């Protein structure tokens, strides 16, 4: 009876609360705390669910458990000193964070980055995009009851972390991309190892799809669940795979190219309805399955970009521009955005002529993407909430900052 009510006539639940409704059919609402340590919330997130039986009437996210005053810290440090803080905002895509903040400072200070350094930056950013999407794929599978997915994902991610360790000695927070370029040039045989990894990794994506993406249990849990229309996605400020999963073809790397992304050929994957090529029946543009699958397709596009980097990259050249140790910022302001694995990451920097910014403000993609939770988690089952939150793919370090 519950299934019939939820799928075809949810308004019946309201009638059950009337005084003249049969006593054995009356229901009571209940508040349930999901978190702040729930294993399916991908961080220290608390979601208060107002439920009526198995039906979620309202979901209210509570954030702030990881708040570390990152922006205020940025207003008390020189830009070079703030680079490690950007690592810790979205710690699953630290290279991308370093990249965007460095671009903002360079635009404000008028610094020209050497060509070789730009290619190294793109290599690191796209490798980190793949590593981030692998975590999203593995943990989302785990949320949906598939333990195998996370083992496959972390197996391949280790190869990328080994490459990062070779260039900077770190495996999570790197501070490798810095103002003016990168901290040091690529080590010997790095590009050979990168090509070996690409040859090994590219066929694995199809293996993941056969394992999870087209698995009937996984499809039933995600297809048609948590549908976000293109209009709602834009109105709520969604970006990245959450926006593209709703069918909006917008990627800053292609739509408003920054750095040297205009030199590469790649496609922008978007959500599609079931029945299209490679899309299982039941999938709907903007649902959990499409948000997930866009990330799988984006890994293929990152491989394409990396292969082009290997062909185009100069064999010699400087890895960093000559930048003063004490960099004084002009009395001006800039806002620069880049395509983080989770969406558009932007930094506003206001200078006042000194070496320390007057104002630093970050526009985090996870913070904006999470805001739609209360809107999309209405009249869904309790079991659908982890699917919806997992498909958004949040990192609470960046949400709280």
The mean pLDDT of 259-272, rounded to a whole number, is: 91
Tell me the two tokens of residue 35.
């978190």
What residue ranges define each of the domains in the chain, with the CATH number in brackets? 70-362 (1.10.645.10)
C-beta of residue 36 within 8 angstroms of C-beta of residue 366: no
Highest mean pLDDT among 15-19, 160-164, 383-387: 160-164
pLDDT greater than 60 at residue 9: no
pLDDT tens-digit profile of 183-205? 999 999 999 999 999 999 999 99
C-beta of residue 56 within 8 angstroms of C-beta of residue 377: yes
User: pLDDT at position 378, please?
Assistant: 87
Q: What are the helix (H) ranges across 88-180?
A: 94-109, 115-143, 148-168
Going by their DSSP bridges, the two strands 333-340 and 181-182 should be labelled as unpaired
Rounded Cα gap, residues 283 and 288, in angstroms: 9
The mean pLDDT of 365-374, rounded to a whole number, is: 89
Lowest mean pLDDT across 11-20, 238-247, 321-330, 360-369: 11-20
Q: Which of 119, 117, 129, 179 is nearest to 347 (CA)?
A: 179
Banded model confidence at residue 4, pLDDT cuts 50, 70, 90: very low
C-beta of residue 177 within 8 angstroms of C-beta of residue 162: no
pLDDT greater than 50 at residue 1: no
Task: Taking the CA atoms of 60, 340, 302 and 201 in sequence, report the sign of the dihedral they define.
Answer: negative
Banded model confidence at residue 135, pLDDT cuts 50, 70, 90: very high
Rounded Cα gap, residues 357 and 331, in angstroms: 9
Per residue, the 3-state secondary structure of 231-290, as one string, reads HHHHHCCCCCHHHHCCCCCCCHHHHCCCCCHHHCCCCCCCCCCCCCCCCCCCCCCCCHHH
pLDDT tens-digit profile of 47-73? 888 888 888 888 888 888 888 898 999
Tell me the two tokens of residue 171.
């495996």
pLDDT greater than 60 at residue 6: no
């Amino acid at each position: 009876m519950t299934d019939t009510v939820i799928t075809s006539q949810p308004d019946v639940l309201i009638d059950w609360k009337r005084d003249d409704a049969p006593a054995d059919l009356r229901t009571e609402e209940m508040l349930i705390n999901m978190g702040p340590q729930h294993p399916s919330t991908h961080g220290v997130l608390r979601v208060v669910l107002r439920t009526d039986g198995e039906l979620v009437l309202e979901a209210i996210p509570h954030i702030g458990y990881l708040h570390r005053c990152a922006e205020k810290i940025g207003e008390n440090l020189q830009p070079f000193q703030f680079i490690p803080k950007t690592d810790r905002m979205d710690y699953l895509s630290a290279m991308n964070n370093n990249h965007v903040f460095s671009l903002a400072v360079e635009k404000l200070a008028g610094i020209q980055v050497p060509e070789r350094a730009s290619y190294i930056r793109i290599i690191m950013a796209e490798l980190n995009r793949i590593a981030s999407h692998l975590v999203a794929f593995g943990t989302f599978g785990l949320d949906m009851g598939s333990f195998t997915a996370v083992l496959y994902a972390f197996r391949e991610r280790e190869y990328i972390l080994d490459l990062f360790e070779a260039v900077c000695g770190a495996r999570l927070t790197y501070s490798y991309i810095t103002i003016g370029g990168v901290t040091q040039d690529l080590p010997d045989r790095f590009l050979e190892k990168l090509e070996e990894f690409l040859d090994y990794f590219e066929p694995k994506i199809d293996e993941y799809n056969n394992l999870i993406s087209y698995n009937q249990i996984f499809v039933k849990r995600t297809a048609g669940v948590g549908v976000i229309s293109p209009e709602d996605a834009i109105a709520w400020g969604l970006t990245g795979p959450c926006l593209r999963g709703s069918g909006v073809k917008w990627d800053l790397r292609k739509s408003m190219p920054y750095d040297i992304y205009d030199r590469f050929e790649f496609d922008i994957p978007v959500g599609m309805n079931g029945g299209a090529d490679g899309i299982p029946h039941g999938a709907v543009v903007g649902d959990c399955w499409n948000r997930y699958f866009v990330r799988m397709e984006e890994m293929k596009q990152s491989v394409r970009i990396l292969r082009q980097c290997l062909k185009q990259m100069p064999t010699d050249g400087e890895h960093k521009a000559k930048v003063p140790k004490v960099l004084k910022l002009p009395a001006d302001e800039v806002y620069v955005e880049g395509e983080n694995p989770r969406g558009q990451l932007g930094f506003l920097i206001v200078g006042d002529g000194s070496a320390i910014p007057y104002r630093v403000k970050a526009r985090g993609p996870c913070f904006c993407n999470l805001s739609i939770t209360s809107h999309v988690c209405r009249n869904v089952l309790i079991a659908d909430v982890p699917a919806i939150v997992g498909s958004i793919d949040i990192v609470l370090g960046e949400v709280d900052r």
